[in-house]
Amino acid sequence: MSYVLAKSQNDDIHKAGECGGAVTSILKYLLDEGIVDGVLAISPCDDVYDGVPTFVTNSEDLMKTAGSYHCAPTMIGDLVQKYLFDKKVAVTAKPCDMRAIEELIIRHKIDKDNIYVIGLNCGGTVPPVAGRKMIDLFYEANPDDVVSEEIDKGQFIIELADGSEEAVKIHDLEKEGYGRRTNCQRCDVKIPRKANIACGNWGAEDGWTFIEINDEKGQELIDGAKKAGILETKSPADPAIEGRKKVEGIMIKMAKKIQDKMYPTVNEIDDWNRCISCYACRDVCPICWCYENCELNKSFFKDEQNIPPSPIAFQGVRLSHMSFSCVDCGQCDDVCPMDIPVSLIFDKLQKKYFDRTGYVAGVSDGTKPPLYSPEKTEL
């Protein structure tokens, strides 16, 4: 594990990128050299609230994926698994994306040798609809005029077309029920250390990206991009490394505080009673990969007459299948038409499982979750 500061040598990318364009440059290097067949990244569609996962095979198209989109939370782990498993791909991944990819690698659904993961440090994402509303309410700007947004030093910052910026403290937004998604508020994995490299601006000076190199593949990536003349690097000073550590520490501490507050508030029984068994949470879950073969589709569990379904035979079964591997990506919350805090319940059980076994989904080293392991040990 080592640290470098990097920025793009290409002026266009440098300008378009969030902080120095290092990530876009590395992706461009991978595509140009033919190391990967394509790149899966997020590009905006109509505005900054509308992020579309895009598979880019031509490095000229990479420019539209540059920049970060906090208001467009998408999960790419299951996209790789469903559609790109037979290709060599490079993906950009938030910590929860990376955790999902790691869990899918454990389940042999993604080939580790076929995937390059450029990790992105993440302080949280904002739901698009609430994001628009919040900008309307708390800022003097029109949500449609926002050209880019950024989360930095505890503030949610928006930038308008004329270059002016406006910032509001995230804490104040969240007090009013806006701000980051609830699963992001309690997320305590801020740096994707299972990715080949983890990039971010914490600790970096302006115009540079701070990169943590996590493995040999990541080192090769940086060396290659440098050799190709697209990336400029320097080693960070000690205060920069300390600064980054401090930011991460503060974020994790805040998350733990919110966890303690949030877990006891959930009342599963009342929540499950709203369920209309649409199966959306199952279908969107990156860890649930069985699809047609899902146990819930089996005749002995299929229950189409009763709404709400019996919680224990519906959610109970799902919980027993994958709650120990829940990466708390919050997709299930996003899709639930009845606003059931699904991820909160699954995440709570993951934490319970952690207390028993020390296994953190998609973060812990070792080949398998203890539940799958052939080891002759009791818990």
Partner 1 sequence: MVLNLRYTVQKKPNYEVILMSDELKIVGLLCNWCCYGGADTAGTARMQYPPNVRIIRVMCSGRITPSMIFKAFQEGADGVFVGGCHIGDCHYDAGNYKWSRRSKIVEDILEEFGIERERFRHEWISASEGEKFKTTMEEFHKTLSKLGPLELK
Which of 3, 85, 301, 354 lies at the binding interface for partner 1 (CB under 8 A)? Answer: 301
Rounded to the nearest whole angstrom, what is the least distance from the CB of residue 329 to partner 1 in the complex?
20
Selection from 343, 349, 338, 322 nearest residue 182 by Cα = 343
Cα dihedral: 285, 131, 255, 1 (round 10): 70
Cα dihedral 372, 374, 376, 379 in deg (nearest 10): -10
- Residues 6 or more apart whose Cβ sits within 8 Å of residue 56: 27, 31, 38, 39, 40, 41, 62, 65
In this complex, which beta carbon is closest to partner 1, that of residue 207 or of residue 311? 311
Q: Give the count of residues interacting with partner 1 (CB under 8 A).
A: 31
Which listed range, 186-194, 216-224, 316-324, 326-334, lies at the site for partner 1 (CB under 8 A)?
A: 316-324
Query: Of the candidates 2, 176, 295, 302, which one interacts with partner 1 according to CB under 8 A?
Result: 295
User: Which tokens belong to 338?
Assistant: 């009845």
Interface residue with partner 1 among 312, 337, 358, 368 (CB under 8 A) is: 312
- Select from 92, 182, 196, 323 the one that contacts partner 1 (CB under 8 A): 323
Which secondary structure element, helix H or strand E, spans residue 122, and what is its range?
none
User: Where on the phi/psi map is residue 50: left (φ > 0), alpha (ψ -120 to 50), or beta?
Assistant: beta
Within residues 330-369, the interface with partner 1 by CB under 8 A covers 345, 348-349, 352-353, 356
What is the CB neighbour count within 10 angstroms for residue 234? Answer: 10
Question: 221 and 116 in contact (C-beta within 8 Å)?
Answer: yes
Nearer to partner 1, 29 or 324 (CB): 324
Helix, strand or coil for residue 298? coil
What's the min distance (Å) between Cβ of 295 and partner 1?
6
Residue 324 binds to partner 1 (criterion: CB under 8 A) = yes
User: Cβ 341 to partner 1, closest distance in Å?
Assistant: 13
> Smallest distance from the beta carbon of 367 to partner 1, in angstroms?
15
As measured in angstroms, the least distance from the Cβ of 366 to partner 1 is 14
Residues that bind partner 1 (CB under 8 A): 268-269, 295, 300-301, 310-313, 316-317, 319-321, 323-324, 345, 348-349, 352-353, 356, 370-371, 373-379
